[in-house]
A and B are shown apart, each in its own frame.
Chain A
Amino acid sequence: MDLSFVILVEVLYGVASLVLISAGLAVVFGMMKVINLAHGEFMMMGGYATITAVGLGVNVFVAMLVIAPLVVGLIGLIVERLVIRHLYGRLVDTMLATWGLSLVFIGLATMIFGNTTTGISTPIPGFAFGGYQVNGYNFFIIIVSIVLVIAMYAVLRGTRAGLIARGTMQRSNMAAALGYSPDRIYMMTFFCGSALSGLAGAVLAPLVGLVPTSGGAYIAKAFITVISGGPSLIAGLVSSATSFGLVSQFFTFAISPVIGEVALLIAAVVLLRTMPQGITGRFFKGKL
């Protein structure tokens, strides 16, 4: 009983963390068709932003939930203005550019922070449940992910800005004809995507050993999750994160973490083979 509760928390955490690390990439890729290979480095910078802010005496939650997304969002904005905006509609070139950017960010972070930056401890202590210790911070990550998904849905569905954004992504010339500048909307979308990446990096920062090259660990997983999700942004993100999270955690607990990761990858192959357009190419069609 105690054990099954602990495992349940871990499984939920597995799903939630997949949602979290994929959200930023999902927005940028799903709405703008830009494969942001610097996504992992955006997360890494979110982590460093948090650590730096906490070091300066900022409350840890403010640092994670406000400062890090803002900082990384602004960096994303600069990157978009300087580089990405020249490359819209050229999928391959954006890949090269963002790969180059990821190397630049790694180099910069190494020069600024070095390799041994002291992290921050989790602000929520672990607690005992029956005979087991549970990581209390997992609940925080689960809650952040749920709130994030709801917020994304609400913004895209319920607000005028969301409507305009969706319209621009579908038919940018129509949106332009109606008086909305696609340029500015792309800019804002990239800002939001980067901010989400920063948020993910910040929230995970207390649980990982943060070094300038940490970003590489996330990009493949996020990429696989987003593409397997298919055309619908939110439904795709949630459904693929859930399937992969469940599969990988099942095998992780049944056998070992390595097998869990391999199971996730094999699940991705099987899934894309049976549903060549991703999950939401088959199910939840036309949903957000």
Chain B
Amino acid sequence: MSLNRRELLGGAAALSTAAMLPSAAMAADTIQLGSILDTSGIFDAYGKPMDQAMRLAVKEINDAGGLLGKQVEVAAYDTQSDMALYSQYAQQLTRQDKVDVVHGGILSASREAIRQTMRKTKTLYFYNVQYEGGVCDRNIFVTGVTPAQQVEVLVPYAMKKSGPKVHILAADYNYGQITARWIQKFVEENGGEVVATDFFPLDVADFGSTITKIQQTAPDLVFAPLVGGAHLSFFRQWSAAGMKDKIPLASTTMGVGNEHKVLTPEEGNGIMVAYNYSQELDTPANIAFKEKWQAEYGDTTAIHELAVSTYQGIMLWAAGVQKAGSIERDAVVDALETGISIEGPAGKVTIDPQTHHATVDVHIMEFEGQGMTVIETLPQRAPIDTQAVCDLQANPGDNTQYEIEI
């Protein structure tokens, strides 16, 4: 055994010197942007367009002369919808590639898997996805919408169009649970009543019994924040049963990964949603964005909200770097905390200094012919849910994901 221990100690000593060596000489003349997304596997519907948007944004920055006179270089990793790879690539990005910023993560679990690594290594981190809210960490910026931002505007609209009795069908995970609570709160505030709430794990694909149950509770409106490929079956079976014209549907998630394009127009038409982005937004910024996308990839059908959030996240970061005149993390964070804003394809996006979340325009929309027609735009909605629990100005050392009590 003594042999082994000696070998080991020798190995350890050799290693600690060797570990210093390999990290490739840092290219000081470029800025390194790390990206970590599922571009294959079950979440690639979300990840692929986000990857394209990231590359488009970087190309645009570089074509305009780069940042601080330096070109931005991308180090991108495909996590293949495997949670363990998130941790590994996060280490790779922060310790070997030594990138200046990381954009990425799709599921909340993937964000939590890498957030602490980013914090420990003082690597600025952008999470550009719609999620359940409540992350309070000075090292992270979140540019996606949170439930309250959507639900606050969507509930009154949908109830006005239908009636006061609401049946909620939510995906059974953090996001769904929290969103369901926000829906309940706003339904009650608007003088309505939630007749039932059902949760479905993400792999449930058979909704026959649920549709029967809904007919028993006989609501005026079904609110369905359902998520992913299996849950799409609900919308198809709902329509197959002929319920579509009887009870209207509203959702905060349907379409965020272009799911509405999987539904036929007959199945999708009329579903009410509220998002930051729609391909059908008729603004100069969006038209220009779609043209750039068309020139780069030849086909704009893949663009979805998460892709645009990613694009906007990178542009916000770039604006922060410009303002700071540096790529040092603390300088960029300070610059972003001045409440910086950009004009993105989805409208004006402003960093909320208190929470490091984004204040965005929210559009109420209805599906029509596999597109989202904008009904009403509510400008600059603040992330009120996260604001209720998180104040990074008063408490900059905070490092928690709060569960927001309503």
Contacts and interface: CB of A to CB of B under 8 A. Distances in A.
A and B touch in the complex (CB under 8 A): yes
B45 to A, nearest CB: 4
Contact of B212 (A7, A208, A261): A7
Contact of A133 (B200, B206, B243, B261): B243
A116 B261 contact: yes
* Interface size bracket, A side: 35 or more
Given A208-B205, A211-B229, A126 B241 contact: yes
Which of B45, B212, B235, B370 is most buried by chain A, counting CB atoms within 10 A of its CB? B212
A246 interface: no
Nearest to B226: A209
A283 interface: no
Interface stretch (A30-38, A232-240, A251-259, A271-279): A251-259
A137 B209 contact: no
Contacts of B259: 116, 209
A217 B240 contact: no
Interface string B331-350: 00000000000000000000
Interface stretch (A107-115, A160-168, A185-193): A107-115
A132 B212 contact: yes
Given A135-B240, A207-B236, A119 B262 contact: yes
A256 B241 contact: no
A17 B239 CA distance: 19
Contacts of A114: 302
* Interface size bracket, B side: 35 or more
A45 B358 CA distance: 41
Interface in B225-260: 229-233, 235-237, 239-243, 246, 257-259
A211 B210 CA distance: 22
B292 interface: no
A10 B215 contact: no
Interface in A94-121: 107, 110, 114-121
A126 B240 contact: yes
Interface string A210-239: 110110110000000000000000000000
Interface string B257-277: 111011110110000000000
Contact of B240 (A3, A14, A110, A206): A206
Interface in A1-30: 3, 6-7, 10, 13-14, 17
A76 interface: no
Contact of B236 (A119, A128, A138): A119
A10 B237 CA distance: 12
B112 interface: no
A134 B206 CA distance: 15
Given A116-B301, A128-B242, A137-B240, A3 B207 contact: no
Nearest to B213: A253
Contacts of A128: 242
Contacts of B208: 10, 13-14, 135, 138
Interface of A: 3, 6-7, 10, 13-14, 17, 107, 110, 114-122, 125-128, 131-138, 206-211, 213-214, 216-217, 249, 252-253, 256-258, 260-261
10 contacts: A116-B301, A118-B263, A128-B242, A133-B241, A135-B241, A138-B208, A209-B231, A210-B262, A211-B45, A252-B209
Given A13-B208, A14-B206, A116-B301, 17 more contacts: A7-B212, A14-B208, A110-B40, A116-B45, A116-B302, A118-B262, A121-B236, A121-B264, A122-B240, A126-B243, A131-B215, A132-B212, A133-B241, A138-B208, A209-B230, A209-B263, A249-B209
Interface of B: 40-42, 44-45, 48, 172, 198, 200-201, 203-212, 215-216, 229-233, 235-237, 239-243, 246, 257-259, 261-264, 266-267, 301-302, 370
